[in-house]
Amino acid sequence: MRLIQILFCSLFLFSNCSSSEETWLKEAKTRLQKGELQPALDATNKALSKNPGFAEAHNLKGVILFQQKNTAEAEQSYLKALEIKPSYYAANLNMVDIQMGKNDWKTALKYAQASVKIAPDSSEAYLKRGIILAALGDVQAGINDFTKTTTLNPNNIDAWYNRGNIYFQQKNYPNALQDFEKCIQINPKFGKAFYAMGLSYFYSNSKEKACLSLKQAQDLDYPGAQQAWHQICED
């Protein structure tokens, strides 16, 4: 009977230890949602003191450090999470942001490729890979990823805008206009899309529509819209 009691107590203590690290992680997430970065970091460190191999806590620590603009330590936290769990989607995607911030596009692509492989239904992974591919000069592959993003998430305004921007650079103004119009359907206050539409209409020889779009961008205080309106529309 005493052996059973000892085993029971051991299991109980192990359960308490496990819940403790989860409790601290939950506390960290709550603090982070409130914008309380240092208390969130403290709670994350307490979770890691309970379990140094807690990949989710390492990743969350990276998120907090990144928001504190401590990107070097944030990167180390993400790498630690991936050392523990290489297939950790969130940590891979966070590493994409770190490398993009350093303009290290090739390393960013490596983590973006991993993110897509781990979560093939993630619109965010395709979006980021599309941005990287376009930056690396593989424009068509970038378009394909932006298209995939909009298929998975039709309201992903960044994908519509980025694809429209590529079409604009290619002087494919009809397709660019369709994508910028979609942006405005999603967010009628997206001044950058109105500005891009204005330029697209101008280069499509539709001056009246160009001026209307630029006026809307100007009303939304988009930088450069007022100057463009004066250059194109005042005569």
| pLDDT tens, position by position, 20-31 | 999 999 999 999
Please say if the pLDDT value at position 8 is more than 50.
no
Residue 218 lies in a domain: yes
Residue 164 lies in a domain: yes
Give the residue, 17 or 114, on which the prediction is more confident. 114
Q: Tokens standing for 58? A: 């390492």
CA–CA separation, 223 and 169 (whole Å): 20
Residue 235 lies in a domain: yes
- 208-229 confidence digits (pLDDT tens): 999 999 999 999 999 999 999 9
Sorted by sequence, the CB contacts under 8 Å of residue 114 that are 6+ apart come out as: 92
Residue 229 lies in a domain: yes
CATH classification of the domain holding 176: 1.25.40.10
pTM, two decimal places: 0.86
Work out the end-to-end distance of the chain between its first and last CA atoms, rounded to an integer number of angstroms. Answer: 98
Sorted by sequence, the CB contacts under 8 Å of residue 155 that are 6+ apart come out as: 186
- 53-73 confidence digits (pLDDT tens): 999 999 999 999 999 999 999
Residue 2 lies in a domain: no
What pLDDT is recorded for position 7? 41
Give the residue, 7 or 185, on which the prediction is more confident. 185
pLDDT bracket for residue 234 (50, 70, 90): confident
Please say if the pLDDT value at position 81 is more than 50.
yes
What pLDDT is recorded for position 19? 61
What pLDDT is recorded for position 95? 98
CA–CA separation, 106 and 162 (whole Å): 19
Query: What range does the domain containing 181 cover?
Result: 156-235
Residue 201 lies in a domain: yes
Burial class from Cβ neighbours inside 10 Å (0-12, 13-18, 19+) for residue 42 reads middle
- 86-117 confidence digits (pLDDT tens): 999 999 999 999 999 999 999 999 999 999 99
Residue 138 lies in a domain: no
CA–CA separation, 166 and 16 (whole Å): 54
Reported in sequence order, the residue ranges of 11-77 that DSSP labels E, i.e. its strands, are none
Q: Tokens standing for 17? A: 């230890």
- Total domains in the chain come to 1
Residue 204 lies in a domain: yes
123-139 average pLDDT score? 97
165-178 average pLDDT score? 97
Q: What is the mean pLDDT of the chain?
A: 92
What pLDDT is recorded for position 184? 97
CA–CA separation, 23 and 30 (whole Å): 11
